[in-house]
Amino acid sequence: MNRTKDSSTSLRIAIQKSGRLTDKTINLLHGIGIEFDNYKRNLMVKTRNFDVELLLLRDDDIPEYVQDGICDLGFVGANEVFEKDADVSVLRGLNYGRCRLSIAAPKNGDLQVAEDFEGKTIATSYPFLTNKFFEDQGVNVDLVEISGAVEITPQLEVADAISDLVSTGGTLIANGLQELFTILESETKLIQTNKELSPGKQKLVEKFLVRIDGYQQAKKSRYIMMNAPEDKIELIKDIIPSMKSPTIVPLAKTQMVAIHTVIPYDKFWQVMEELKSAGASDIVMLPIESMIL
C-alpha cells in the first residue's frame, strides 16, 4: 500500500513571531530536541525531526488560533489567554515571560484606593481584564483602549490612570506613575485547543509534554559530584536533598569515595556549605540538558 504522510497528524504549534517570548520559546523547542530553521523569514516552519509545524503569529492572535483549533498548541502569556477569555486548556506554566497586569496612577496623586477610581478614565490594552477587575470592586470606570505606549497617556491627559503590563516597574517610574494594584500575575503558558484531537495527535502532545517536563526539571536541577571519606557517607547522604539515592564509587585512594547525585538548584549553595563541613571536598556542580524521571 502506498501511504503518503497525512499532514493532519502533524501537531501545529503557535508561537510569537517576534517579541519578548520568541527567543525563549525557540530555545525551549530546540532544548527539547525539535530542529528547524528559517523561522525569522517564514510564517509556517516545518520541523525536521518531530511531527510538528510551527505557526509564527502575533501573540494577541495565539489564544484564538488555538481556541478555534487552527493550531493544536500554543505558547503565549497568561495575560493574552485570559484577556481573550479563550476556550483552551492550560497544560503547563513555563516560568518565562513573567510580568503582571497592574493599575498605575500618577505618583502621589488623588488615586490611591479602588474607590478613588469611580468615574475615572483608564487607558489599557487589556479592556476585558481591567473591566472585570473594577466590576468586581463595584467601581465604574471608563476605558480607553490603546495598543501601545499606554504609560504616556496620563501625561497627555488622555486618561487618569493606566492598566498595563509591568515587569520591573522601571517604565512606570520613568513616566511618573505609581503601581497600585495587580490584576493578574502572568507567565508564558503552553495551551491546548479544547477541540478534539485525533489519537495520533494526542499521542504527540503527550510525547511533547514528557520532553517539556524533562527540560523544565533539568533547568531546576544540577548534577553534583564530590569526594568524601568513606566513613562520612551516611552523614553526607542525610544532607543531600536528592530525588534518588546517590551513586557512590570507590576511589583509588583508600577510604575515599566519589558521590554523584542530582539536587534542586536553589538548594545548591546551602547544601554545598553543609557538605564541606561534613568532610566532602572537590565539589563540582554541572548543568543538566534534560532528564526523564
Residues 6+ apart with CB under 8 A from 128: 82, 83, 84, 85
Residues touching ligand ATP: how many (CB under 6 A)?
Answer: 15
H or E segment to which residue 273 belongs: helix 268-277
Out of 10, 14, 16, 50, which residue is the one contacting ligand ATP (CB under 6 A)? 16
Cα distances (Å, whole numbers) of residue 167 to 8, 172, 173: 39, 10, 12
The C-alpha atoms of residue 56 and residue 64 are separated, in whole angstroms, by 14
User: Of 34-42, 58-66, 106-114, 270-278, which part binds ligand ATP (CB under 6 A)?
Assistant: 58-66
Cα distances (Å, whole numbers) of residue 92 to 139, 185, 247: 34, 15, 32
Residue (57 or 275) nearer to ligand ATP, CB: 57
Please report whether residue 72 would count as binding ligand ATP according to CB under 6 A.
no
The C-alpha atoms of residue 139 and residue 136 are separated, in whole angstroms, by 8
- Binding pattern for the stretch 59-78 against Zn ion, x by CB under 5 A and - elsewhere: xx------------------
Please report whether residue 15 would count as binding ligand ATP according to CB under 6 A.
no
- Binding pattern for the stretch 20-59 against Zn ion, x by CB under 5 A and - elsewhere: ---------------------------------------x
Out of 165, 183, 226, 239, which residue is the one contacting ligand ATP (CB under 6 A)? 165
By C-alpha distance, which of 265, 208, 241, 262 is closest to 94? 208
Please report whether residue 83 would count as binding Zn ion according to CB under 5 A.
no
Instruction: Assess contact for 85 and 128: CB atoms under 8 A.
Output: yes
The C-alpha atoms of residue 182 and residue 159 are separated, in whole angstroms, by 19
> What is the nearest approach in angstroms of ligand ATP to the Cβ of residue 174?
13
Please report whether residue 29 would count as binding ligand ATP according to CB under 6 A.
no
Q: How many CB atoms lie within 10 A of CB 166?
A: 19
Residue (74 or 97) nearer to ligand ATP, CB: 97
- Which positions touch ligand ATP (CB under 6 A)? 16, 19-21, 58-60, 77, 79-80, 97, 99, 165, 167, 186
